[in-house]
């Protein structure tokens, strides 16, 4: 096997302009955290000659109170950044920089990686491959808006105003989009396509990759978009996931496990106070269910092995959300869970109560982050799949978000999210 030092050396031989490497991780608030480290010191880390230590607050700063945080224990925690050198990518928007995603090791814990979302996902992927000989491909759809210096949608004569039009993509906006796409290509991120989405909104679809790589690409793509612009939290991110070796009835069991824990998944995927406007319309849907090419439900079925999960946005810790989706799916597989829901190929809002019952659309999506957190805390099965130490850190951060954000005005919350996302 190639060593960490050799991985780093090989990368730098191909990217001679790189002087600094960004050691990156995602905290429980979904914020990209980073330390900028000179290349020479990175070699010391890759050789195992140095541990890169972090303070205990590195995962638990709520967006609503930042930079204040609220540790849940009395003991000082020692954290170590463990770079996954196979995730090294050049930063196309900054040729002297590269980025690497890191695992977080909690030194005094029994399981030292019990609080690391990236490790949770890695272990879930290993389990799926070990138990079911199945690998996961994924791609993300990123919705974003172009803002001016006053944090308002870019106002120009050629305005983004509808779905899949050339209007809005003829002048300055298209110049900005092409600049972003050039940076993505330089960062080794492949684009599937892009198009206008709705009023003032654009969507990029990233090409499919193995799930862990796809999330790494998403994070760097988001940072690339934010470099010339600001990405607001009202825009969604949709996870496309496919499993290569599962077939019915196993795919039905997998999907049943996910749908049966939808409320808990929302606590990870729509992880902010204002995210639940998405459950009042077609963004994530009002009812728990799935449907072939149905964008009015949280799960859109593409094929028997491919689904789009719509119950997430850019404020989630994507590693944690994806891990939770896989773990609930694995639970469905282990329990051979029946798929009670029918494939709904009509608009749910056009159905009356009796017609909805035919598709088992009888359970509403959570209407708030507080409701989703209550569902998560009551979900005994999820608490056996996700380490207690992680949940005991994650849930208080989100409860603090609810407590503080509900006292703010809409505009105060919007500006706070724009500061951090």
CATH topology match: 4-115 vs 134-420: no
Do the beta carbons of residue 170 and residue 184 sit within 8 Å? no
Least confident residue range of 112-116, 195-199, 224-228: 224-228
Q: What is the pLDDT of residue 14?
A: 96
Q: What is the pLDDT of residue 107?
A: 81
Mean pLDDT (whole number) for 32-43: 97
Rg (C-alpha) for the chain, rounded Å, is: 21
Listed by start position, the domains of the chain span 4-115, 134-420
Structural element, H or E, at residue 127: helix 117-132
Q: How far is CA 195 from the centre of its chain?
A: 21
Mean pLDDT (whole number) for 156-173: 77
Tokens 């494939």 belong to which residue?
343
Q: What is the pLDDT of residue 235?
A: 61
Mean pLDDT (whole number) for 100-108: 92
Do the beta carbons of residue 212 and residue 26 sit within 8 Å? no
Query: Residue 115: pLDDT band by 50, 70, 90 thresholds?
Result: very high
The beta strands (E) that lie in 286-337 are given as 290-292, 299-303, 306-309
How much is the mean pLDDT over the chain?
A: 91
Kindly give the pairing relationship between strand 89-90 and strand 97-106.
Answer: antiparallel
- DSSP state for residue 153 in the 8-state scheme: B
Position 75 pLDDT exceeds 90? no
Position 74 pLDDT exceeds 70? no
Query: Residue 417: pLDDT band by 50, 70, 90 thresholds?
Result: confident
Using a pLDDT cut of 90, give the percent of the chain over it.
72
Q: For the segment 173-199, what is each residue's pLDDT rounded down to a tens digit?
A: 888 889 999 999 999 999 999 988 877
- The tokens of 52 are what? 């890169």
- The tokens of 350 are what? 């056009």
Structural element, H or E, at residue 243: strand 237-243
Using a pLDDT cut of 70, give the percent of the chain over it.
95
Among 298, 304, 322, 389, CA closest to 125: 322
Give the 3-state secondary structure of residue 15: coil
Distance CA 10, CA 293 (A): 43
pTM strictly above 0.95:
no
Distance CA 391, CA 115 (A): 8
Position 234 pLDDT exceeds 70? no
The architecture that CATH gives domain 134-420 is 2-Layer Sandwich (3.30)
Nearest 5°: the CA angle 104, 121, 333 is 155
Query: Residue 227: pLDDT band by 50, 70, 90 thresholds?
Result: low
Per the model's pLDDT, the better-predicted residue between 358 and 167 turns out to be 358
Position 233 pLDDT exceeds 60? no
For 4-115, give the CATH class: alpha beta
Q: How far is CA 314 from the centre of its chain?
A: 6
Do the beta carbons of residue 280 and residue 364 sit within 8 Å? no
Do the beta carbons of residue 307 and residue 255 sit within 8 Å? yes
Q: For the segment 247-290, what is each residue's pLDDT rounded down to a tens digit?
A: 999 999 999 999 999 999 999 999 999 989 888 766 788 999 99
Question: DSSP letters of 165-184?
Answer: -STT-SSHHHHHHHHHHHHH
Structural element, H or E, at residue 37: strand 32-38
Query: Residue 231: pLDDT band by 50, 70, 90 thresholds?
Result: very low
Position 148 pLDDT exceeds 90? no
Paired with 206 in beta bridges are 191
**CA distances (Å), origin 421, targets 26, 229, 307, 416:** 12, 11, 27, 9
Least confident residue range of 12-21, 145-154, 293-302, 343-352: 145-154
Position 217 pLDDT exceeds 90? yes
Kindly give the pairing relationship between strand 20-26 and strand 32-38.
Answer: antiparallel
């Amino acid at each position: 096997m190639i060593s960490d030092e050799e991985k780093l050396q090989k990368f730098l031989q191909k990217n001679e302009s790189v002087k600094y490497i960004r050691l990156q991780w995602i905290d429980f608030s979904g914020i990209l955290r980073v330390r900028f480290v000179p290349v020479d010191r990175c070699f010391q880390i890759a050789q195992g000659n140095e541990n890169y230590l972090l303070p205990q607050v590195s995962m638990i700063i709520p967006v609503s109170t930042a930079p204040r945080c609220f540790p849940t224990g009395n003991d000082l925690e020692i954290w170590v950044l463990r770079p996954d050198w196979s995730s090294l990518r050049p930063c196309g928007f900054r040729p002297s920089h590269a980025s690497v995603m890191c695992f977080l090791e909690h030194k005094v814990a029994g399981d030292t990686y019990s609080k690391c979302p990236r490790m949770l996902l890695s272990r879930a992927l290993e389990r799926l491959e070990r138990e079911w000989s199945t690998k996961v491909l994924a791609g993300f759809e990123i919705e974003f808006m172009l803002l001016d210096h006053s944090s308002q949608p870019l106002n120009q004569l050629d305005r983004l105003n509808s779905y899949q039009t050339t209007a809005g993509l003829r002048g300055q906006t298209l110049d900005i989009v092409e600049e972003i796409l050039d940076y993505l290509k330089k960062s080794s991120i492949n684009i599937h396509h892009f198009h206008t989405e709705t009023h003032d909104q654009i969507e990029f679809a990233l090409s499919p990759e193995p799930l862990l790589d796809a999330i790494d690409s998403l994070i760097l793509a988001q940072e690339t978009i934010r470099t010339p612009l600001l990405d607001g939290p009202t825009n969604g991110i949709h996870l496309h996931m496919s499993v290569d070796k599962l077939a019915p009835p196993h795919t039905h069991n997998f999907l049943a496990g996910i749908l049966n824990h939808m409320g808990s998944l929302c606590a990870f995927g729509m992880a902010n106070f204002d995210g639940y406007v998405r459950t009042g319309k077609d963004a994530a849907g009002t009812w728990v269910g799935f449907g072939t090419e149905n964008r009015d439900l949280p799960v859109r079925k593409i094929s028997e092995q491919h689904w789009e999960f719509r119950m997430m946005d850019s404020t989630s810790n994507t590693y944690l959300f994806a891990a939770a989706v896989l773990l609930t799916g694995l639970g469905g597989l282990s329990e051979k869970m029946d798929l009670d829901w029918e494939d709904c190929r009509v608009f749910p809002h056009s159905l009356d109560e009796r017609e909805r019952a035919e598709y088992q659309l009888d359970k509403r999506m959570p209407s708030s982050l507080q409701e989703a957190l209550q569902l998560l805390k009551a979900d005994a099965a999820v608490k056996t799949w996700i380490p207690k130490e992680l949940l005991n850190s994650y849930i208080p951060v989100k409860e603090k978000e609810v407590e503080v954000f509900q006292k703010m005005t809409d505009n105060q919350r919007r500006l706070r999210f724009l500061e951090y996302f």
